[in-house]
Amino acid sequence: MKYDFFKLQFTEKETNPGKTAVAGSDTDMSWSRLQKISERLKVIFRETGVPEGHPVMIYGHKEAFYAAALLACIHSGVTYIPADVIYPEERLRRIQAQTGSQVIICCRETSLAEHFSISISSTLEVTRHRTPCFEKAVYAPGGERLQYIMFTSGSTGEPKGVQITRNNVLTFLKWALHDFPFNGLDVFMNQVPFTFDVSLCDILLAFSHGATLVLNAADVVKEQDKFMERLARYQCTVWTSTPSFVFLFMRHASFNPDYLKSLRTFFFMGEDLPNRTCKNLRKVFPDCTILNAYGPTEATIVTTLVEITDAILDKYPSLPIGYPMPDSRLFLLKEDETQDSGELVISGPHVSPGYFKNEAQTARKFFNNQGLQAFKTGDLSYFADGMFFYLGRNDDQVKMHGFRIELHEISSTLCRNPLVEEAVTVPLKRGHEVKKIISFVILKNNTNAQECKEKLQEFLKDTLPYYMVPGDIIPVGAFLYNNSHKIDKNRMIEDYLITHGL
């Protein structure tokens, strides 16, 4: 049994209907049960009068019902807003106020429900708190069916909604089903919150292939022994995460093919993939495929893909982010055409129509390019050997004492030193002025921190221009991470300032 997102129907219904479709944090759900919930929710949407283009909020974490509710929204042509328990209720109420959402699907009990006109429980009970008013909250940017609105952090303090249409999703899926090496026998490990589109990649691929999706709650992930045991028990074949996330498990005793016998693919996205991380993975899992993908939320999950082979590892100290998807056009905006690098622009039918009710920000970041919607990523890149390479964010390029400094280059240089496992470099600013460059490093083995700092300073003086050598190098046991398992540079800066009384 599987789901056809193009035809919006379940297919091959007689094939393994009892097979596990979703292993949630609370319970397992078969394919036949997944179908029944999807069809029942479709009826509920019709009976409650939810119009096409009205956003329905889904609230929960990693319950099996969450994945079913998400599929039901797609199946029913209903726009959805993913919401997670990791966010404070106040933030979610602001999102509700922005969108005018009248309906919430509750995968667990929450006081949020009473703020919506209609709430739907995980037992499919419908509660009418008041008469819904849908008329003023129906959205179809450019006349296209809106599939979901994913809210990210906004620079103004207000959540910023990225609008993704059904056509955006299908454009991604057409490519993924053709070029991504997965099938119905796969078991996808899913741990990123549903409020980040990395998690949607697993859902679309697992349901399209008739595979199994294993959802892992944050509390289980934090207890590494339980997480490893869960992956082994469900015989996960595909590990999808940011590179930072896999790094957390590199030294775990069970992180090896003898324990994780079924694992065959590491699928990375959401962050720069260090060469050293891949080499370490290759040593531990020599028979596994390593895939590197890249793409902002505004371009529907990912836009480039490459398999990281031994030849690529040996040839490129900084790994490529890959080859562009078909029907897309990627190019570089350069200040000077003599430059090799520039800001990466993505254009194609998978690019978002813009930010929700934010015309000013949409105008700054999106534009029409030869008839295709285009998005300025804010990422610096260069093109070589038919592939794109990531150089860091625009805001990773800072200016200090009149010199332009690429923070990503400092981190990459540190990672080439045999003492260093991982590195991240940040600027300390006063207002808009950069006062100091700080590098945080995770050292290999239990080497003396002070001696390493001195050696690394000397190493950088020999390999970088003097103005790029950090003012301080801080050995740490681990980096701090945000909810999407990306390195939380802001918290690391805050901790540094507190520790040093600044």
Q: What is the per-residue pLDDT across 420-473, written as a single tens digit (0 to 9) for each?
A: 989 999 999 887 678 899 999 999 876 788 888 889 999 998 888 788 899 999
Domain count, the chain: 2
Same domain, 217 and 92: yes
Tell whether 286 and 405 lie within a shared domain.
Answer: no
Query: 282 and 409 share a domain?
Result: no
Residue 476 resides in a domain: yes
264 domain-assigned: yes
Q: Which of 126, 191, 200, 114 is nearest to 162 (CA)?
A: 200
Say yes or no to pLDDT of 154 above 80: no
In the predicted model, is pLDDT for residue 377 greater than 70?
yes
**How many helices (DSSP H) and strands (DSSP E) are in the chain?**
14, 29
Cα gap 176→327, rounded to integer Å: 13
Which contiguous run of DSSP H or E holds residue 21? strand 20-23
- In a domain, residue 78? The reply is yes
156 has pLDDT over 50: no
Do 55 and 193 lie in one domain? The reply is yes
Show the domain range for 230. Answer: 2-290
- Which whole number is the average pLDDT over 161-174? 97
Domain annotation covers residue 268: yes
62-98 confidence digits (pLDDT tens): 999 999 999 999 999 999 999 999 888 888 998 999 9
Provide the CATH number for the domain around residue 421.
Answer: 3.30.300.30
- Shared domain for 193 and 63, answered yes or no, is yes
Question: Are 285 and 422 in the same domain?
Answer: no
| Surface-to-core class of residue 101, CB atoms within 10 Å of its CB (0-12 exposed, 13-18 middle, 19+ buried) | buried
135 in a structural domain: yes
Tell which of 240, 265, 290 closes a domain.
290
Tell me, yes or no, whether 76 and 212 share the same domain. Answer: yes
**Dihedral (C-alpha) 25, 26, 31, 32: value to the nearest 10 degrees?**
-170
Question: Do 199 and 80 reside in the same domain of the chain?
Answer: yes
Q: What pLDDT does residue 402 have? A: 64
Residues 417 and 273 in one domain: no
Query: Whole-model pTM?
Result: 0.86
Give the CATH number of the domain where residue 277 resides: 3.40.50.12780
Q: Is residue 52 part of a domain?
A: yes
Do 91 and 228 lie in one domain? The reply is yes
Which residue among 257, 275, 290 closes a domain?
290
Question: Among all chains, which residue has been given the structure tokens 């990693």?
Answer: 62
339 inside domain: no
Closest to 482 in 3D by CA, of 190, 66, 216, 153? 153
> Long-range contacts: 39-45, Cβ < 8 Å, 24+?
39/75, 40/124, 41/68, 41/69, 41/72, 41/73, 41/75, 41/76, 41/105, 41/120, 41/124, 42/72, 42/75, 42/76, 44/120, 44/124, 44/126, 45/76, 45/78
Q: What is the largest CA-CA distance in the chain?
A: 71
- Domain stop point among 229, 260, 290: 290
Residue 154: count of CB within 10 angstroms of its CB: 13
Q: Is residue 368 part of a domain?
A: no
